[in-house]
Structure 1
Amino acid sequence: MSGHGHGGGHGRGCCECDHEPAERGVEYELYRRIDIEKLQCLNESRDGDGKLVFKPWDQRTDRAKFVESDADEELLFNIPYKNIPQMSFDDTSREPEQAFRLNRDPLAELEYPTKIARFSNVQHLSIHISRNFGAESTRVYYIGLRGEYTEAYRHEVTICNYEAAANPADHKVETITPQTQFIS
């Protein structure tokens, strides 16, 4: 019997720690729904680099594409997709929907769970990175957005007239003869 973990009824597949399920990348497909042309990254050192970090799961460790902060360590992503549309650094003092304490993650493997109720029906998302681990600038290589996409339902405007009090002259009613019936 090998100590490799085959069989044994532990509920885990072969070498689960060495392989990741192929479906995992599918969970991070929300980047495809971002309107990349409208995406903004404030304080990026090179215009347009903030768009490069929203990429497929299998490219998350690609170190060639990244965004680096310019004047200080802060970066602010405005992703057209809840917070405040076109958020600025002046807005960062407001209470966020959720804050994360980031950890170093060179292999892009860490996941930060969200409060699901706060992120349903998101149309715009702002991500503010306020500090890093002590460097003068911040580099981000990958941001993965995990969740389900549902098409926004837009109901066309319906024009209706409502009457606060009915005007009897507007309603033609046939004469009704009341009938009384007795049941014996």
Structure 2
Amino acid sequence: MGIEYSLFRRIDKENLTCLNERQDGSGKTIFKPWEERVVMDTVVESDVDEELLFNIPFTGNVKLKGIIIVAPDDDSHPGRMRLFKNRPHMTFDDCRGEAVQEYELHRDPTGLLEYPTKVVSFSSVHHLTIHFPTNFGTDCTQVCYIGLRGEWTPAARQEIAITNYELRPNLSDHPTRIWEQASREVQ
């Protein structure tokens, strides 16, 4: 099952952001190999309230099929999860709208419970946003592991060709002798 959760290698960790994390950079540490999902030494903890927001860019296009959330078996475990796709740099204000998919989470400290996604809705994802709005009752939310299952394809990006089109020709741009002969006087 672990080989299916290899999308952590396809995450652009340099541009990954986590909003409302207590310790800067701790949100990047919970994306790790499937074998390390139950290792509780890396954890992201919310700071001001129970909300956490992950902006996850990928290095290509992803067909997302499932998500695993591992957190401590107490009230700091996330209670709900909301997913948004292809909306980079989201903030908490942007999350007030309708999500592409929402889940009621169950406590899962072992990482055996998978939340399947609507594959049709998440077939061409280059940026995923995960919002945890609530937990099971404390002031701070803790997450130890987020596993993403799916298929990755390299991004097919083409450069934009910059061209200029003439709507009306400028005679000085096109020197020719034809114009010189036509401008002579006839007697």
Residues 40 and 159 of structure 1: is their aligned pair in 2 closer, same or farther, counting only changes over 3 Å?
Answer: closer
Residue 83 of structure 1: how far off its partner (Å): 3.5
Contact (CA 8 Å) 1:97, 1:118: kept in 2 or not?
yes
Instruction: Output one character per residue of 1:90-143: Cα deviation in whole Å (capped at 9) or x when no partner.
Output: 011111111111110011111001000111111110000000000110000000
Aligned length: 141
CA distance in 2, matches of 1:53, 1:159: 42
Residue 158 of structure 1: how far off its partner (Å): 5.2
* Structure 1 counterpart of 2:93, one-letter code: D
Residue 30 of structure 1: how far off its partner (Å): 0.4
1:149 maps to what in 2? 152
Instruction: Output one character per residue of 1:56-95: Cα deviation in whole Å (capped at 9) or x when no partner.
Output: 0000000000100000110000001234110000011111
* Structure 2 counterpart of 1:111, one-letter code: E
CA-atom RMSD, angstroms? 1.8
Query: Which runs of 5 or more residues in structure 1 are unaligned?
Result: 1-23, 163-184
1:46 maps to what in 2? 23
CA distance in 2, matches of 1:78, 1:61: 23
1:28 maps to what in 2? 5
Residue pairs, 1:84-123, within 5 angstroms = 84-123=87-126
Residue 160 of structure 1: how far off its partner (Å): 8.0
Task: Find the residue that maps to 1:149 and give its secondary structure.
Answer: strand
TM-score normalised according to structure 1 size: 0.72
1:10 maps to what in 2? none
Residue 155 of structure 1: how far off its partner (Å): 2.9
TM-score normalised according to structure 2 size: 0.71
1:135 maps to what in 2? 138
Instruction: Output one character per residue of 1:2-21: Cα deviation in whole Å (capped at 9) or x when no partner.
Output: xxxxxxxxxxxxxxxxxxxx
Task: Find the residue that maps to 1:51 and give its secondary structure.
Answer: helix
Runs of 4+ in 1 over 6 A off after TM superposition: 159-162
Larger RCO (alpha carbons 8 Å, 6+ apart): 2
Contact (CA 8 Å) 1:83, 1:97: kept in 2 or not?
no
Bigger helix share: 1
CA distance in 1, matches of 2:163, 2:19: 44
Larger radius of gyration: 1
Task: Find the residue that maps to 1:92 and give its secondary structure.
Answer: helix
